[in-house]
A and B are shown apart, each in its own frame.
Chain A
Amino acid sequence: KAGVTQTPRYLIKTRGQQVTLSCSPISGHRSVSWYQQTPGQGLQFLFEYFSETQRNKGNFPGRFSGRQFSNSRSEMNVSTLELGDSALYLCASSQTAGADTQYFGPGTRLTVL
């Protein structure tokens, strides 16, 4: 069974631009969560989607948004990029929502110049 895939793997953007990251969960998994990882803040929860509905949202500004499609694939969007948005963005999928075992993708490395 294929694992969680994320595209693209690397991105370079400039301040003020917007970016869209994509995540395809493991087949049969209906929950997708997004995390931001930085050296200073560690892993921080962004949001979780289950059956196309956002279940939980972390403490991030409204510039960070996401959505989930009927096939469980998810996208996250960051508008008006700032230097501090440079990070590894990780997506995780699980069969059910909440506290089920999460399986992580390889991440998207975003660099904002």
Chain B
Amino acid sequence: KQEVTQIPAALSVPEGENLVLNCSFTDSAIYNLQWFRQDPGKGLTSLLLIQSSQREQTSGRLNASLDKSSGRSTLYIAASQPGDSATYLCAVIPTGNQFYFGTGTSLTVIP
């Protein structure tokens, strides 16, 4: 069974700092990996989707990388802002199957 771990569980940074969130998974036979953010009491918002043949994806201040061989993905957030405060979740998808979610990283950006 696929196990997905996110470290750290919580992170607090001052506004303007660059930061990296980590996601590791146990089975490298994945179809793709997706990063989401979740605001308190809300649903999930898709940030980036990386297909297994890709190494990274970028959207604005966000950059996600994928290393299947080592079972790792990172989400890089540049020039963090208070509005980035949320819980960030990664999800891996085995070939044609369900999503397996990590436990999330709770990010607080201090003004």
Residue numbers of A with Cβ under 8 A of B are: 4, 33, 35, 42-45, 48, 56, 58, 88, 90, 92, 97-99, 101-107, 109
Q: Is the CB of A42 within 8 A of B46?
A: no
Verify if B25 is at the interface (C-beta below 8 Å from A): no
- Whether A45 contacts B100 in the complex (CB less than 8 A), given A101-B46, A104-B44, comes out as yes
From residue B16, how far is it (CB to closest CB) to chain A in Å? 29
Q: Is the CB of A43 within 8 A of B89?
A: yes
Verify if B53 is at the interface (C-beta below 8 Å from A): no
Residue on A nearest B46 in the bound complex, by CB: A101
Q: Is the CB of B31 within 8 A of A104?
A: no
Q: Is the CB of B45 within 8 A of A42?
A: no
Residue on B nearest A57 in the bound complex, by CB: B98
Q: Is the CB of A101 within 8 A of B44?
A: no
Q: Is the CB of A90 within 8 A of B104?
A: no
Residue on A nearest B97 in the bound complex, by CB: A56
- Whether A105 contacts B34 in the complex (CB less than 8 A), given A42-B103, A45-B100, A98-B97, comes out as no
Q: Is the CB of B98 within 8 A of A48?
A: yes
The 5 lowest CB-CB distance pairs between A and B, nearest first, are: A43-B101, A104-B43, A104-B44, A99-B93, A99-B31
Q: Is the CB of B96 within 8 A of A42?
A: no
Verify if B76 is at the interface (C-beta below 8 Å from A): no
Q: Is the CB of B98 within 8 A of A102?
A: no
Q: Is the CB of B96 within 8 A of A99?
A: yes
Q: Which residues of A contact B95 (CB under 8 A)?
A: 99
Q: Which residues of B contact A48 (CB under 8 A)?
A: 98
From residue B105, how far is it (CB to closest CB) to chain A in Å? 12
Q: Is the CB of A99 within 8 A of B45?
A: no
